Amino acid sequence: MARNVTVATLDPSVQAFGALIIDATAITMEHTPAWIVYALTPVLWQAGCAADLQLVHLGTQVLNSRTEETPCSGQTLWGRDADDAVTGVAWDWVELRQGVVAMSDPFGVVTNLRLIDAQGDVLPMRQAALHLHQLVHALPWQSQVRRALYQPAEGGYML
């Protein structure tokens, strides 16, 4: 079961101006837009061991409802709260037809993970993307997205 993880918030005094101020004491990850994982402290992780992260589903948001012209789409957020670091992985999805969902952009995975090779060097983004796709593929994310599509929750996120 996912725990509440404090991540970030907008300072109320500057929200009206659209400025983002990170305050890592205010809200939980499950109510946070998926892109906020960029604000988390980077986590170095061995590329070949990405599956060992044991990520849990933190939330799925339906951003656009299905119409005749546009498919349903949204974001899903997965993470891990370990004693040493908080890890987040998120991506956009689209419903291709009823009940069939796919990643919107294979290179659009948002994460604070920095995958490293055997020598400890951070992998280039394109190379890291291959490992991230394997990680995403191993997660039961599509069933969580379908759950959010057909059992929507208040506030936009389905936990």
Higher pLDDT, 10 or 54: 54
pLDDT band at 2 (very low <50, low <70, confident <90, very high): very low
Residue 35 lies in a domain: yes
Residue 3 lies in a domain: no
pTM attached to this predicted model: 0.73
> At residue 139, does pLDDT exceed 90?
yes
> At residue 32, does pLDDT exceed 80?
no
User: DSSP secondary structure string, 42-106?
Assistant: PEEEEGGGGGGG--EEEEEEEEE---SSS--EEEEEEEEE-SS-EEEEEEEEEEEETTEEEES-T
pLDDT score of 51: 78
- CATH code: domain of residue 73: 3.10.450.610
Determine which helix (DSSP H) or strand (DSSP E) holds 129, and give its type and residue range.
helix 125-138
Tell me which residue range forms the domain holding 117.
Answer: 29-158
User: For residue range 74-117, what is the model confidence (pLDDT) as tens digits?
Assistant: 999 999 888 778 899 999 999 998 889 999 998 889 999 999 99
